[in-house]
């Protein structure tokens, strides 16, 4: 689909470029594949987990906010999400066959950050700076505090595990995942499929 009228931009919320490098080099993308060690995107777009996707139109407007979609079916057994569904909706929007959701729809679906969310992100920011300065013990305090302030924010709680010597696939992650599932999967869920499903 990439061409004059469309591009993908990927942003890796990783601790260093080297963590993301093997995936990017394997994919050999023709689109921008960016590295975000400071979680600038999470801060500006209220991203609480990955993957999170957005559609942005020609005028720079968000027409599909904070949606959960996968490029493959690798995690389908956990998420129940089929990648084909989003891809079909995306193709229909890019080709102009179906319009993007209207402004009212987008407004209803756009999650907004609370003061606690932003305090948690500030704690992450301080922790990430301290970690990059070679002060991991001090960083740990702020990563923990950030996770306490925003327990639903996996970009903080899971995303900092590689900086803290914790396995991001290990028991601490599984416990986090289970409590999130037990709470009814809050904060991070696919949008009701309102865009690109109705053929005109």
| CA angle, 89 then 84 then 94, to 5° | 30
Q: In sequence order, which residues have a C-beta less than 8 Å from that of residue 192 and are 6 or more positions away?
A: none
Rg (CA), the chain: 18
In the complex, the smallest distance separating the C-beta of residue 71 from other proteins, rounded to whole angstroms, is: 8
Whichever of 161 and 191 has its CB closer to other proteins, that residue is 161
In the complex, the smallest distance separating the C-beta of residue 3 from other proteins, rounded to whole angstroms, is: 9
Whichever of 50 and 185 has its CB closer to other proteins, that residue is 50
> Please, which contacts does 140-149 make with residues 24 or more away whose CB atoms are closer than 8 Å?
140/164, 145/120, 146/120, 146/121, 147/120, 149/116, 149/117, 149/119, 149/120, 149/123
CB atoms within 10 A of CB 124: 28
CB atoms within 10 A of CB 107: 10
Quick one: CA dihedral 130, 37, 23, 88, positive or negative? positive
Of the candidates 117, 186, 113, 127, which has an alpha carbon nearest to the alpha carbon of residue 159?
127
């Amino acid at each position: 689909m990439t061409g004059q009228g469309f591009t993908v931009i990927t942003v890796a919320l990783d601790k260093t470029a080297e963590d993301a490098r093997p995936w990017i080099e394997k994919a050999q993308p023709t689109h921008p594949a960016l590295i975000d060690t400071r979680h600038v995107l999470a801060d500006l777009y209220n991203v609480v987990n990955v993957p999170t996707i957005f559609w942005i139109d020609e005028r720079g407007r968000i027409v599909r906010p904070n949606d959960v979609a996968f490029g493959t079916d690798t995690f389908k057994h956990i998420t129940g999400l089929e990648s084909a569904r989003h891809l079909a909706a995306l193709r229909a929007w890019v080709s102009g066959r179906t319009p993007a959701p209207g402004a009212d729809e987008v407004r209803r679906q756009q999650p907004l950050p609370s003061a606690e969310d932003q305090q948690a992100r500030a704690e992450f920011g301080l922790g990430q700076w301290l970690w990059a300065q070679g002060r991991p013990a001090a960083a740990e305090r702020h990563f923990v505090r950030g996770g306490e302030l925003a327990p639903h924010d996996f970009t903080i709680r899971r995303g900092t595990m590689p900086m803290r010597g914790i396995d991001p696939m290990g028991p601490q992650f599984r416990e986090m995942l289970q409590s999130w599932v037990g709470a009814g999967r809050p904060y991070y869920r696919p949008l009701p499929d309102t865009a690109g499903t109705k053929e005109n």
